[in-house]
Chain A
Amino acid sequence: MADLSVVGQSVYRTDANPKVTGRALHVGNIEMPGTLHVAVLRSPYPHARIKRIDKTKAEALNGVAVVLTGAEIAKMPGVDAHFGPAFRDQPMLAVEKVCYAGDPVVAAAAVDRRTAEDALQLVEVDYEPLPAVFDVLEAAKSDSPLVHEQHRPAKAFADLAHVKAGQQSNICYHFKLRTGDVDKAFAEADRVFEDTFTSPPAQHVPMEPHVTLAYLDEHERLNVWTSSQSPSYVRTELSATFGMPMNRIRVRVPYIGGGYGAKLYAKLEPLVTALALITRKPVRYALTREEEFLTLTKHRVVTKIKTAIKNGAITARKCEVYWDTGAYAEIGPRIGHKSGYTSAGPYRIPNVWIDSYCVYTHRVPAGAFRGFGVPQVIWAYDSQTDMIARALGADPVEFRLKPALEEGEPFATGTLVHSFGVKEAIRQAAQAIDWTKPRAVQTGTKRRGKGIAVGVKAVLTPSISGAIVILNADGTANVLSSTVEMGQGSETTLGQIVAEELGLSLDQVHIVQPDTDVTPYDTITAGSRSTYHMGNAVRMAAAKVKTALCEIVASKLEADPDDLLARNGRVFVRGMEERGMTIGEIFLAKFGSLGTTLAAEAVCQPTAAHMDPETGQSEKCTEYWFPSATAVEVEVDSETGRVVVLQLISVGDTGTAINPKHCEQQLLSAAVMHLGLTLFEEMIFDEGQLLNGSLLDYQVGSIKDMPRSFRSVVVEVPHADGPFGAKGAGETGALTVAPAVANAIEDAVGVRVRDLPITPEKILRALAEKNGAKVPGN
């Protein structure tokens, strides 16, 4: 890769200037004359039948354009009142019944937000409370109150084609993996370890809350500006929901103020569209922070994990994973599948049995959250792996290294792994934290300990990214891509790839922001998939443009097209730089005119092999893997239970780094975000009612929660089919933080916490139990 000039360089962000001056375009800065503003009345009950809604007084309020109910949406001709990426189970506004405390029931659109809120004060709703279920294990039982009587698959994504219609159960998706003979291995085991781990619901807290603006333009086409991570999907969903032709819908996404999974699929767009269609005015709905907490959460997960040990090695692992997906499935089934199949870990284990259940409860819907469920399963398996190592008197690092899969070995799904730097990640993490350095003998109440955790995530497969590269006669390029710039640096990364391929400088490449009128389909901006998928798409499109240039140069200069090189805005014969043409000259040769363009489209569409529904076996379950390791050193105060993270090292295999500094940044900041999720973040519910749904009550990590010492290590195991060998980096640093901290705490004070977050109270309780003290209530 020695002759690369832009790829592999830690160039500065191309969006730095608009962002640092505050001039970056956000949906919140886009104004249409006569815009109506929306407020939504939400259910106070977790499960109730709507007996009556009286909105006459609200409608009479001055400045109110419309007060809308779910029953009215259901009566709109040709409109499906429900939407959702896996099941069409989520109503724009509750129809007949509400399924969680916070479920939208009535929407008012008025001249300003305050008037809309005033209108809602005048709405009367009578509810008949129904039995509700809040615990995922209770909800999975056959005698539990049902959240939905029927499950209707959405058929929106190829990877969810196997999601089936179901009824009379809260389990909306069940993934199974079976390999080897688990029962026999447990019967023959020397030791069996059985543990249950939980992780709580948490909120993404993007600093920019969700916001959507919709209006009909002069052609009566629906225009939507929205803070979404999935513009292509939003158009598909609106088309399906409102029965509108796809070319009558235009979805645009400017810069968004963070997503982390919260802004995937459809959120406010269907409701805002319904209001815009009814009022025929521009309609804006911006969530308040409190509403954000009632819109989507990270899945609460309960994992029961059982592991057999024979002759010091792991011979079998059985995982039962329960995903609390809340009142609407959202993307829970995809998470239950993709994360479910990795829940035994990146290890060589001959006998594996996995059941992964996605379960409805009467709580706030759960969906994607940076890591897509994988942090929750790694929390279980790499906490337990560490516990086993310590129980066997083995070194936790060596205990992981021995069974860690290597290139070409089968994963639990039967898929042979490629570009799988798990061992390298463990070694780098161990080295960075001086793992082998003998621990000092500790006395006193503050004890230090070190912990390491490792895990792997598989990229969503199949998925699709399309791109168009337009080269201008002056040697500048416009790139049409539906990847959303939400902070991850995609504009810079994609720009580097195109610049490299076409021999341009980075500032000659402009990435056009997602606009479904012009930018081709992209599955989602999520799952660490954009560098690989969109990166490949823009690279292939750029390569096509380059081929066209080379053909012209070859015929003009009578050269072999294979000998030509594109560099510095010229195409020339390799080794004879003077024998070539500038891009301007090439365009003149072809078109006889400047101001012209050359364009090409390309699609990156990796496929997966069929996965057996009974055994979870597949020749190819994923396009690529991202191994992650975290090493931490903590100091635990055994008198207060307080944990101070002294050191944190985040290690990730990103494939070839297109921008090494940005990869380091993604790894470290994902890890720091997850340190908060490890130590204190938790949405607390009582009987389905959220108790801490504001930033006064829900703690988000600040700069004071940064470890004293921190760094990240980028492991580059190139992927054969990645653009220049790249994979992805957005989630990798998030994956292994929680178990690393728990492992370090056990190292320090000898107690194990199995329930996130690891609060001082839990540590104190565990210490008290260890010392034989009686611990009052839970």
Chain B
Amino acid sequence: MQREITLRINDRDETLVVEDADTLLDVLRDRLKLWSVRESCGVGACGSCTVLLDGRPVSACLLLAVRSTGREIITLEGLGDGQSLHPIQEAFVSERALQCAYCTPGFVLTVKALLDKNPNPSDDEIREYLSGNLCRCAGYADILRAVQLAREKQSRAPVQRK
């Protein structure tokens, strides 16, 4: 069945007609062309389609679009001010924490959620929190360093940035 819904995505209201069976991933990619959201496993096991839902990382492939109304949805396109890189992105660049980078948007958003919730996570907490995001290039050492750097940056500059 089709129905019209309004989704709050990256600070904008998007009203569209969707099928009940459409996942949030279908809508973000195929309808709204938010290409940073990537399909990979389709079963919520890899984190490539991570978006923030009211600040928490979720797999967009497992969430129906019709169940996402009334929530604040952030994709990588909505991170920061749209002009310059977010400090987490800067950390990923300077620590070279990306290779093929198909997984990178999901990682960056998950790190954002982690640091918002826990500004000073231990290395074990970082490992635990990021364990739902897979990087097949296996650049985990670089990603770990990037999160450590972002953690330090954040503690130096406590200005709230989205």
Contact = CB atoms under 8 A, between A and B. Distances in A.
A668 interface: yes
Interface in A506-548: none
A20 B41 contact: no
A260 B94 CA distance: 24
A50 B126 CA distance: 52
Given A17-B93, A20-B92, A489-B99, A29 B35 contact: yes
A665 to B, nearest CB: 6
Contact of B76 (A21, A665, A700): A21
A258 B130 CA distance: 20
Interface residues of A, number: 54
B141 A710 contact: yes
Interface stretch (A69-77, A144-152, A190-198, A206-214): A206-214
Nearest to B75: A22
Contacts of A673: 136-138
A677 B101 CA distance: 21
B32 interface: no
B102 A13 contact: no
Nearest to B90: A20
Interface string B26-41: 0001000101111111
A557 interface: no
B127 interface: yes
Given A28-B38, A207-B136, A704-B127, A12 B93 contact: yes
A23 B103 contact: no
A703 B96 contact: no
Contacts of A53: none
A260 B29 CA distance: 26
Contacts of B39: 28, 209, 286
Contacts of A418: none
Interface size of B as a range: 35 or more
B62 to A, nearest CB: 12
Contacts of A13: 93, 96, 98
B40 A209 contact: yes
B99 A207 contact: no
A489 B142 CA distance: 14
B93 A20 contact: yes
A737 B141 CA distance: 17
B82 to A, nearest CB: 10
Contact of A21 (B89, B130, B144): B89
A26 interface: yes
A588 interface: no
Summarize B's interface: helix, strand, loop or mixed: loop
Contact of A12 (B76, B96, B105, B134): B96
B141 A207 contact: no
A497 B101 CA distance: 23
A662 B127 CA distance: 23
Interface centre among B45, B100, B103 (most CB of A within 10 A): B100
A657 to B, nearest CB: 14
B3 to A, nearest CB: 17
A607 B109 CA distance: 48
B130 A703 contact: yes
Contacts of B35: 22-23, 26, 28-29
Contact of A288 (B42, B89, B100): B42
Contact of A207 (B108, B130, B134): B134
A488 B136 CA distance: 12
B17 interface: no
B96 A487 contact: no
Contacts of A208: 38, 40, 100, 102
Interface string A691-711: 000111000111110100010
B139 interface: yes
Interface of B: 21, 29, 33, 35-43, 45-46, 48, 75-77, 85, 89, 92-94, 96, 98-105, 108, 126-128, 130-144
A434 to B, nearest CB: 21
Contacts of B48: 207
Given A28-B38, A207-B135, A20 B127 contact: no
B30 to A, nearest CB: 9
Contacts of B144: 703, 706
Interface of A: 12-13, 15-17, 19-24, 26, 28-29, 114, 204-209, 255-260, 286, 288-290, 486-489, 661-662, 665, 668-670, 672-673, 676, 694-696, 700-704, 706, 710
Contact of B99 (A12, A288, A487, A706): A487
A255 B35 CA distance: 13
A661 B96 contact: yes
B142 to A, nearest CB: 6
A20 B99 contact: no
Contacts of A704: 127-128, 131
B98 A207 contact: no
Contacts of A702: 130-134, 140
Contacts of B45: 694-696
A299 to B, nearest CB: 19
Nearest to B76: A22
23 contacts: A17-B93, A19-B98, A19-B104, A20-B92, A20-B93, A20-B104, A23-B36, A29-B33, A114-B21, A205-B136, A206-B136, A207-B102, A208-B40, A257-B101, A257-B103, A289-B40, A487-B137, A661-B96, A665-B96, A695-B43, A695-B134, A703-B143, A703-B144
A38 to B, nearest CB: 15
Given A207-B48, A209-B40, A696-B43, A12 B94 contact: yes
B147 to A, nearest CB: 9
Contact of A22 (B93, B105, B137, B140): B105
Given A21-B36, A694-B43, A486 B100 contact: yes
Nearest to A488: B99
B43 to A, nearest CB: 5
Contact of B85 (A12, A21, A289, A706): A21
A209 B134 CA distance: 14
Nearest to A262: B136
B100 A258 contact: yes
B138 A672 contact: yes
Nearest to B142: A665
B94 A207 contact: no
B41 A694 contact: yes
Contacts of A21: 36, 76, 85, 89
A703 B146 CA distance: 13
Contacts of A672: 138, 140-141
A207 B38 contact: yes
Nearest to B41: A695
A16 B136 contact: no
A260 B135 CA distance: 13
Nearest to A258: B100
B139 A22 contact: no
